[in-house]
Structure 1
Amino acid sequence: MSATAPGGLLTIAGKQVSRLGLGTIRLTGPGTWGWPEDRATATQVLREAVHVHGITHIDTADAYGPYTAESLIHTALHPYPPELLVATKVGMIRPAPNVWRPFGHPAYLRIAVDASLSRLGVEQLDLCYLHRVAPDIALEDQVGTLRALQLEGKIGHIGLSKVGVDQIRAAEKEITVAAVQNCLNRDEPSDPALDYCARMDIPYVPYRPLNAGALPAPAGLAWLLDLAPHIAPVPGTSSPGHLRALVNAVR
């Protein structure tokens, strides 16, 4: 494994990981649906990220595929190096390509966590985010379910995705928030949760850090890493060459 962590280091969910992570949403088929057209290349991207480039933060979700990204991670990287953080998300269902629906019923969240454990081949999820706060179910019930699963040993740390400051504060009454994953990039640079997370010492993980490819990697990633030390972007790619460019942008 590379001795240099791309972008430096940040502690997330109890592990010191590379500030530059890898998102896996692009390692699926069109519409974030099904398997990628070239599974071998998708597997290569994951292996090179960890074993060549020193990335130690892999971000995924059961909704990516759905299910296929987690399965690819298992194929490519299991057994996982002890320094690797594999973060996943639950609480989103996928009725069709390009269709995303929050679903936070406690019984479903339990099923989803068990399924992610099985696909990833682990006894405990390092970091499990609530992918979205379902508006029809009390936030306390959704994060409370994840907290119960944490107490049972199935989840190590709990994160929140696409949340505002009020939602983070409400969740903090039930859980310790290990990370917040929101959209942030140079084209979409404003998020009140960023400063709140800094004050509360919560790692902030920008998704869509290059605005779905609209921003050049050197300027976009450098801007995020220079913005604040608690930021750890997770750009996605399906290309080994593009992966190298992402890593080189933050060296």
Structure 2
Amino acid sequence: MTTASGLPVGRVGFGAMRLPAAPGPAREQALAVVRRAVGLGVPLIDTAFLYGWGANEELLAEALHPYPEGLLVATKVGIVPSEEGEGWAHDGRPESLRRQTEQALRRLRLDRVELLQLHRLDPAVPVAEQVGALRELRDAGLVGGIGLSEVTVEQLAEARRTAAIASVQNRYNLFDREHEAVLAQCEAAGIAFLPWRPVAAERSAEVDAVARELGATPQQVLLAWLLARSPVMLPIPGTASAAHLEENVAAGALRLTDDLRARLDRAAAGA
């Protein structure tokens, strides 16, 4: 299934953030995990400049180039290194976004990135200027779809006045539904919703009980809940473990009855 924007939904994607990129055995394992993800039919792999300041993108290119047909590689721009705070800063200036995109294309060994996301909107730059820069890149053939990350309903609506938005990547899971209204807006417009942190950190006796009844893991139940929650949902759980990856992908085949979903929703409401 695809959204109105043409992005695949309804299956489990892969978030590459956790993959180690430094030389050594851990990197070799990371390459194997990425290749296994493709072998399992993962439709989308999500990366970003922030993940190792380009090292994660280079890892994906080493593992997968030339990329198999049908695989969508998504990356993010708008964040740059900084010596202050958490080690990063916003930079949504149009000239910076163009430069970051060109560098990402070189690292990924692509002529066009099918989904380019603003990692965060820069509060110092008008939304129309930031999204407009990505629209120009799309019009030039360097970008397929434009995505946003961690946006409000108002920011999403403002961005859509400048360009069509293909996806939104906000934090969302069974126990964390702060962005419920954003999800609803995405559903109404056919915009893919890529929840990051899709597996809640909280332990829940009810989730554990449902998992036992289904012969599944609690993590699989949480991913299955997301897939059942909305037709535009595409979770992107991350892992550096091949076994964990296979469990995550298998969650795409797990079906929750209305009763099980109601039990999970009640557990979340009472948490």
CA distance in 1 between counterparts of 2:203 and 2:80 reads 27
CA distance in 2 between counterparts of 1:95 and 1:37 reads 29
Letter of the 2:123 counterpart = P
Q: Is the 8 A contact 1:28 1:64 kept in 2?
A: no
Q: Is the 8 A contact 2:15 2:47 kept in 1?
A: yes
Q: Is the 8 A contact 2:197 2:237 kept in 1?
A: yes
Judge which range, 126-135 or 240-249, deviates more: 240-249
Post-superposition shift, 1:103? 1.4
Paired residues for 1:125-140 under 5 Å: 125-140=113-128
Matched, 1:14 2:6: yes
**Equivalent residue, structure 2, for 1:206:** 195
Unaligned runs of 5+ in 1: 1-8
Which of 214, 236, 248 aligns to 1:246? It is 248
Deviations 1:183-224 (A, max 9, x none): 101221231100011111111110110136968312210110
Unaligned runs of 5+ in 2: 205-217, 254-271
Q: Is the 8 A contact 2:5 2:165 kept in 1?
A: no
Aligned residues: 238
Paired residues for 1:94-109 under 5 Å: 94-95=81-82, 99-109=87-97
Letter of the 1:150 counterpart = R
Cα gap change, 1:63/1:186 in structure 2, threshold over 3 Å: closer, same or farther?
same
Post-superposition shift, 1:94? 2.9
RMSD: 2.1
User: So what's the TM-score if we normalise by structure 1?
Assistant: 0.88
User: So what's the TM-score if we normalise by structure 2?
Assistant: 0.82
**Equivalent residue, structure 1, for 2:143:** 155
Matched, 1:73 2:60: yes
CA distance in 2 between counterparts of 1:129 and 1:113 reads 10
Which of 10, 15, 19 aligns to 1:27? It is 19
Percentage of matched positions with identical amino acids: 39
Deviations 1:5-52 (A, max 9, x none): xxxx434853546621000110136xxxx678711011011000002x
Judging by fraction of residues, say which structure has more helix. Answer: 2
CA distance in 1 between counterparts of 2:200 and 2:125 reads 30
Q: Is the 8 A contact 1:61 1:69 kept in 2?
A: yes
Letter of the 1:228 counterpart = S
Deviations 1:30-83 (A, max 9, x none): xxxx678711011011000002x1112111111111111110110111111120
